[in-house]
Amino acid sequence: MRFAHFLALALVVLLSAVACATAPIPTYGPPSAATPSPSSTTVSVGSTPSVAPATSGKPRVLRINLDARPDVLDPQKASTSAEIAVLQLAYEGLTRIDENGNVVPGAAQSWEFSSDGKTLTFHLRAGLKRADGTPLTAKDFEYAFKHAVDPRVGAFDQSFMDDVHGATAAYSMDPKSRHEDIQNALNSVGVQATDDSTLTVTFDQPTGYWPVIASTWIGYPVDQSKENANPDSWWLTPANQNGNGPFMISDIEDQVIKLVPNPNYWGGKPALDRIELTWITDPAAVLDSYRKGALDVAQLTLDNFVQAQSDPALNSDLHVAPAARVTYLGFNMKKAPFTDKNVRKAFSQALDRASFVRDVLKGMGKPYLSWIPPGVPGYDATATVPGYDPAAAVQTLIDAGYGTPDKKHVDCTKLGTIKLSYSNTPRTQYLYQFIAGSLTRVFPCPVLLDPIDPSAYSIAVRDPKTTPQMFLIPWEQEYPHPQDWLFLETCNGVYAMTIGYCDKDFDAALAAANQELDPVKALQKYQAAQQIFVGDLAGAFLWNNENAYLIKPYVLGLWDHHSANDSVWPGQYGPVLSYSIDTSRVGAGYPTQ
């Protein structure tokens, strides 16, 4: 489905994961039914705080440090986790994702598929308004989705719309095409407001998972009048962020973005008086700001995680949980010896994952043998590759014909040259040296380290003609659904094409899952598809990242609602209206107004 820029982004994710292992978790069930009951309409945003905060005259201000500077606050152009974290507070899609990974009502109170699964109809809540009090209608959502596939916009995640009729044809056009031709293509895209409260989406084939797509930022209803007045930088002016989320952006400054409650949000008033999002990127400075009371929530990296663990004053505020991010050792199945499944199996058995997590990740991760991680719908504890077993690794190669005549050792000449390629940075050298050492200790056969200049590496791994023989492949989910993990591995999927993986049975199983409208049956079909991919041993799964956060004890509710969906701050997908501050417990550095 999606294009090569996802692989380029994932490579950046891998480098940052080594520098700053991240994540979130519990194990949750399958997505909810496609048409939730009216009683579930407030589940995703919450209501009143579960613990009433003490009053002290101070404002309830939540100060969160982002993992990077948000450079683009245009929903249809946003791409980084920091940008999306800001937009999730100021806007709301037709649907929302709750902390359990379920699809729940957002701006739409209900939705249903047609009997053939090719039409999805959303019914908006009555009386929806923007932050300034002006009406919000289905036309605004139609504009948002079509704007996302306008070739002149160049939306980063335009391919989220691939299953919508006419969407791919529209965004694939030359952006320099005649205005009339582009407009005709956009008019043909299968998103249509049939009246102020009804939006229909049409597909070329049944697309059961699309209610999840409806929750993403590409469908956030920007104010078209504000955007048209200044298409390139409208979003820099807070007043132009005339959204429909629980908060609204009040200030955009050099080092902080401030949000205050949206008085016209359908779900009610948040308990917080203000949210301040900063972006301190120096690991030492993050800890220093937290100690001084200038931050309430801070995500940690490998550079400051160990330091926080060893500091008694910080350790009590430390919270760690698995994330929706997995990395595996990819094998180029078009290059010997990895054309042989037995070799791929043996290399999986030779990977000492526990030592890798302990020594390289400093404990900020989990050894992992599967693809879809815990906490994400579709997780299957039985879908695993062989784990670390040195003796079995050697025997696997010998039994497959790679042994010496006495069948007691591996014949390295039969195995041939093994090369492990990587982007050459100070961060990655130790990581790949460790992996190579883990393999050579088992067989033992030389594993040649192949450092490549970072600018050349990203090009090499994107092109199937230059894909290395063996290299690491990471993925961090975009939305909590098994489709977002498995689409990468279809015969024309960006990850599968790079390593030469193609299994027609897998493609057929995934297609059947994507078209299934019953969420319970769909989950079973996604798990069946994953079993095929994992069983083919196209890669040796290595680790599941973790997120580590410092959270002040006076912050109420966030950690209670953390989940595998979170990527920037704990509770990101939880009931944000209920989060609060016990102002009687705050200390020096906390805002007084």
Q: Residue 395's domain is classified under what CATH number?
A: 3.10.105.10
Count of structural domains within the chain: 3
Where does a domain end: 221, 250, 281?
Answer: 221
Where does a domain end: 161, 192, 221?
Answer: 221
Contact 475, 489 (CB under 8 A): no
Percent of the chain as helix, strand, coil, to the nearest 5: 35, 20, 45
Is the residue at 25 inside a domain? no
> What local confidence, expressed as pLDDT, does residue 563 receive?
92
Looking at the fold, whether 216 and 276 belong to one and the same domain comes out as no
The token pair at 176 is: 């320099």
Looking at the fold, whether 338 and 443 belong to one and the same domain comes out as yes
Is the residue at 254 inside a domain? yes
> What local confidence, expressed as pLDDT, does residue 93 receive?
98
Residue labelled with tokens 């009683």: 39
Positions of the chain with pLDDT lower than 50, given as ranges: 1-13, 15-52
Query: Which residues constitute the domain of residue 411?
Result: 324-546
Find the CATH number of the domain harbouring 119.
3.90.76.10
Q: What is the distance, to the nearest Å, from the Cα of residue 503 to the centroid of all Cα atoms in its chain?
A: 25
Looking at the fold, whether 101 and 166 belong to one and the same domain comes out as yes
The partner residues of 418 in beta bridges, in order of sequence, read 447
Give the H or E element holding residue 261. strand 256-261
> What local confidence, expressed as pLDDT, does residue 8 receive?
46
Is the residue at 38 inside a domain? no
Looking at the fold, whether 370 and 495 belong to one and the same domain comes out as yes
Find the CATH number of the domain harbouring 262.
3.40.190.10
Distances (CA, A) of 111 to 2, 94, 125, 440, 522: 26, 9, 11, 55, 18
Looking at the fold, whether 352 and 270 belong to one and the same domain comes out as no
Distances (CA, A) of 510 to 115, 208, 481, 515: 21, 12, 13, 9
> What local confidence, expressed as pLDDT, does residue 57 receive?
83
Looking at the fold, whether 361 and 461 belong to one and the same domain comes out as yes
Q: Which amino acid is at 530?
A: Q
Looking at the fold, whether 214 and 242 belong to one and the same domain comes out as no
Is the residue at 15 inside a domain? no
> What local confidence, expressed as pLDDT, does residue 29 receive?
27
Looking at the fold, whether 346 and 439 belong to one and the same domain comes out as yes
Is the residue at 35 inside a domain? no
> What local confidence, expressed as pLDDT, does residue 56 receive?
62
183 burial class (0-12, 13-18, 19+ CB within 10 angstroms)?
Answer: middle
The partner residues of 277 in beta bridges, in order of sequence, read 64, 257
* Beta strand 318-331 pairing with 297-299: unpaired
- Which one-letter DSSP state was computed for residue 129? B
> What local confidence, expressed as pLDDT, does residue 427 receive?
81
Contact 273, 60 (CB under 8 A): yes
Around Cβ 411, how many Cβ atoms within 10 Å? 16
Coil/strand/helix, residue 192 = strand
Q: How many CA atoms lie within 13 A of 35 on its CB side?
A: 10
DSSP 403-420: B-TTSSSB-HHHH--EEE
The partner residues of 124 in beta bridges, in order of sequence, read 108
Looking at the fold, whether 195 and 100 belong to one and the same domain comes out as yes
Cis peptide before 444 (omega within 30 of 0): yes
Is the residue at 22 inside a domain? no
Between 5-19 and 426-442, two packed helices, what is the crossing angle to 10 degrees?
Answer: 90
Looking at the fold, whether 339 and 451 belong to one and the same domain comes out as yes
pTM score of the predicted model? 0.90
> What local confidence, expressed as pLDDT, does residue 55 receive?
56
Is the residue at 184 inside a domain? yes
Looking at the fold, whether 345 and 473 belong to one and the same domain comes out as yes
Looking at the fold, whether 524 and 593 belong to one and the same domain comes out as no
Burial 332-367 (b: 16+ CB within 10 A, else e): bbebebbebeebbbbbbbbbbbeebbeebbebbbbb
Is the residue at 7 inside a domain? no
How far apart, in whole angstroms, are the C-alpha atoms of residue 71 and residue 369? 36
Coil/strand/helix, residue 446 = coil
DSSP 536-576: TTSEEEEEEEEEEEEE-TTEESTGGG--TT-SSSTTTTS-G
